[in-house]
A and B are shown apart, each in its own frame.
Chain A
């Protein structure tokens, strides 16, 4: 490795060559027998962050990208940006909340249209203390969960079939693409005719709605796997079921998880539709009741529950991504 020096615009005492440059790397050949005269690629150690920003001298057009090691005793990782990022996430909701509270307090927002934040909090407390929310939630989540499970099973199996085999694609894909265009709400009458108005009908509607996101994403993800990779795996003796299980499914997993995320969202959507059409229990039933009573505080409290569900879905899929996709670079942006 040759010694490189980094051009800097000012002979600042802080300016130093990049770490690693000109210094024999500790990783070099330490584990390689001398007979194997292949120096391993030098792995550049992570450049420690510093507070010295890149500066540009407008006259010379030289941009100074030098960095110096942080003074000893200070943590090497940047703390502030992370806190800042967290703060940024909640900034907009907080602003909206503040505007709402101010509007209600000054009477700018009439209570008939929108109750004040404290009233909504009270309504929420009421739902919890009377156990209405817990009961409704457990019933609704079970419906959504069972429907989702059926939908995922069908969507995954169909998606893998069309993704893996040309015959499967010819048989199934165009039909799936056609049925996909039917809004699931439009299927409700048929489902009522078939399954009546009980639990089965609700679950069937949710399952139907959940099939397509997972199907489309699984199919696309399987098809997107580099054929050269499959070719190589075949040469090395990976075939049939083992090829599917060990190569195709893991590498299609990012796309499958995107489908899962969508399907989970759709399951909540279909749940609401199913429960508001005909229900005597569940979240949708509570919302329908609140609407009949013109209680916008209750409606808002229940809508908040839906947003929390959405949040949990997001957290759940993120967790899955972290455990199932350790091989993927997770950080794309800054």
Chain B
């Protein structure tokens, strides 16, 4: 795997948490999942990625955590990353606290550290439990603790709340928002849930036919609540973009805005049109197979 640093002279490559993707392409056999996909995430920025089922969101996430490689394109991510998957994926044969420190070196895998991380998600008393005894929401919180204990500069969330009931999901939203505010990693949240995206993210991007078809700043004050004209407007735009809209008239209006497909970040509420796209900030890089962009 080659590493390329495009940092301006004198700039120190830091593990800032920034993500930089240009022209990423990935196909499985004849199926092109990603075609010329671009995405930037600024350090500490919370980006939600929406897209229809099968649009390649999970594939993108796997690429970012090196479970897959891009066919070609530039991908730079911080080396300190961690993931929460759609399922908790806890190891059934390990107690909860051992799951939290899974794969860490002996020095870092202390019980005290695990308990501290569990306390952050409100599960300190469950350190000695077996995963099978946890509820779905508890298991997912353990998965969150497991991700956070690694102090990631980039946190990847693949529909982590999709399997939870509505009430637990609301609690998880609050927890994630709070933990992200405290630890300040860059976050890429993959989700089907438009409301969730708008509630949590600084920016919302839509993945459609292999590329980013929309990139909108969520310019709403925090803490956010559902409803309100701005919320609804953004919601409708996103729905139409994903292709859920049943109103045939709504589609072209949005499509106009988003042509050409590789539009620069598009502020939907045009108050601060300048989105932070730090092309210059370069972390310690991981560049899976780099080839010429087409």
Q: Are B130 and A235 in contact (CB under 8 A)?
A: no
Pick from A27, A38, A235, A327: contact of B83, CB under 8 Å:
A235
For B175, the chain A residues whose CB sits under 8 A away are 36-38
A38-B145 Cα distance, complex, nearest whole Å: 14
For A328, the chain B residues whose CB sits under 8 A away are 92, 132
Given contacts A38-B171, A41-B137, A231-B67, contact A236 B146 (CB under 8 A): yes
Pick from B87, B103, B131, B138: contact of A237, CB under 8 Å:
B103
A235-B150 Cα distance, complex, nearest whole Å: 11
Q: How many pairs of residues, A versus B, come closer than 8 Å at their CB atoms?
A: 90
| B220 located at the interface, meaning its Cβ lies under 8 Å from any Cβ of chain A in the complex | no
| B180 located at the interface, meaning its Cβ lies under 8 Å from any Cβ of chain A in the complex | no
Min CB distance A230 to B, Å, is 10
A-B contact pairs, 22 of them (CB 8 A): A31-B124, A36-B121, A36-B122, A37-B178, A38-B141, A38-B174, A39-B122, A40-B123, A41-B135, A231-B67, A233-B102, A235-B65, A236-B82, A236-B104, A236-B146, A246-B94, A247-B91, A251-B92, A327-B94, A327-B95, A327-B131, A327-B132
A250-B174 Cα distance, complex, nearest whole Å: 36
Residue interface mask B89-104, A partner, CB < 8 A = 1: 1011111000000111
Q: Are A236 and B102 in contact (CB under 8 A)?
A: yes
Q: Are B65 and A36 in contact (CB under 8 A)?
A: no
Query: Top 7 nearest A-B pairs by Cβ distance?
Result: A237-B103, A238-B103, A250-B93, A236-B103, A232-B89, A32-B122, A327-B130
| A228 located at the interface, meaning its Cβ lies under 8 Å from any Cβ of chain B in the complex | yes
A32-B130 Cα distance, complex, nearest whole Å: 20
Known pairs A38-B174, A235-B65. 9 more at Cβ < 8 A? A36-B120, A36-B175, A36-B178, A37-B171, A40-B125, A236-B146, A238-B102, A242-B103, A251-B92
A242-B94 Cα distance, complex, nearest whole Å: 14
For A226, the chain B residues whose CB sits under 8 A away are 89
For B103, the chain A residues whose CB sits under 8 A away are 233, 236-238, 242
Question: Which of A231-274 touch B at CB < 8 Å?
Answer: 231-238, 242, 246-247, 250-251, 253
Min CB distance A304 to B, Å, is 38
Question: Which of A1-49 touch B at CB < 8 Å?
Answer: 27, 29-33, 35-41
Q: Are B92 and A40 in contact (CB under 8 A)?
A: no
| A178 located at the interface, meaning its Cβ lies under 8 Å from any Cβ of chain B in the complex | no
A41-B125 Cα distance, complex, nearest whole Å: 12
Min CB distance A299 to B, Å, is 45
Q: Are B122 and A29 in contact (CB under 8 A)?
A: yes
| B85 located at the interface, meaning its Cβ lies under 8 Å from any Cβ of chain A in the complex | yes
Min CB distance A242 to B, Å, is 8
A326-B124 Cα distance, complex, nearest whole Å: 21
Min CB distance A258 to B, Å, is 16
- Most chain B CB neighbours (cut-off 10 Å) among A36, A246, A247, A251: A36
A284-B93 Cα distance, complex, nearest whole Å: 41
A37-B132 Cα distance, complex, nearest whole Å: 24
Pick from B67, B120, B130: contact of A234, CB under 8 Å:
B67
Min CB distance B147 to A, Å, is 9
Q: Are A40 and B93 in contact (CB under 8 A)?
A: no
| A229 located at the interface, meaning its Cβ lies under 8 Å from any Cβ of chain B in the complex | yes
A329-B132 Cα distance, complex, nearest whole Å: 8
Pick from B87, B150, B168, B171: contact of A228, CB under 8 Å:
B87
Q: Are A40 and B91 in contact (CB under 8 A)?
A: no
For A242, the chain B residues whose CB sits under 8 A away are 103
Q: Are A235 and B82 in contact (CB under 8 A)?
A: yes
